Amino acid sequence: MTEQRSFSGSGDAAMSAKGRAGKHPSPKQRRRAREKAVQALYQQLLNYTPVDELEAQFMEDPIMLKLDLDYFRRLVRGVSASYAELDALFGAHTNRPVDELDPVEHAILRLGTYELKYCMDVPLPVVMNESIELAKIYGATDGHKFVNGVLDRLASELRAEEVAAVRAARSRRGRN
């Protein structure tokens, strides 16, 4: 299992994308926020770093000016504050112990689980697609299939009504 890309987590930024001109962040800015959050969470898994210090390290990267900084902070701080709960939630849907997971997939599962449970403003298909894409980019070969399976089972538990609505919509499209 080899990673497809390496992570770097240093550089300089001080302004949230949302803060600029009062605009709401674009999907691209949210995607970048998730990507950087996974990098931070990965780094934290390998070498625990307090959240404030971790955030400060990432703020040195100029790319931080191009993402939804508020969402990055929400994700990193939220996952860091509840990692044991998140691990237990998705761990119930894995076929191996959580501490034996690939660190990239572990970070992505923590992030995806956090979004499923605490970011109800983010639609289920977005959480799933973003998690799968992150796993395709950074995870091991076929790691995205593992992430998809775990989060799909967890979504049925955490967002049962939304899962049913998405499946019904797909079924209707299939009949038309």
Give 64-120 pLDDT, tens digit per residue. 999 999 999 999 999 999 999 999 999 999 999 999 999 999 999 999 999 999 999
Shortest CA distance to 131 belongs to which of 66, 44, 34?
Answer: 34
- Rounded CA gap, 67 and 85, in Å? 27
112, 96 Cβ separation under 8 angstroms: no
Looking at domain 82-176, its CATH superfamily turns out to be NusB-like (1.10.940.10)
> Is the predicted pLDDT of residue 9 greater than 60, yes or no?
no
> Is the predicted pLDDT of residue 8 greater than 50, yes or no?
no
Give 120-176 pLDDT, tens digit per residue. 999 999 999 999 999 999 999 999 999 999 999 999 999 999 999 988 988 888 776
- Rounded CA gap, 169 and 128, in Å? 16
Comparing 4-18, 23-37, 125-139, which segment has the lowest mean pLDDT? 4-18
> Who wins on pLDDT, 173 or 28?
28
Q: For residue 3, name the pLDDT band (cuts at 50, 70, 90).
A: very low
> Is the predicted pLDDT of residue 6 greater than 50, yes or no?
no
- Rounded CA gap, 120 and 95, in Å? 27
In the chain, where the domains are located? 16-81, 82-176
pLDDT of residue 172: 87
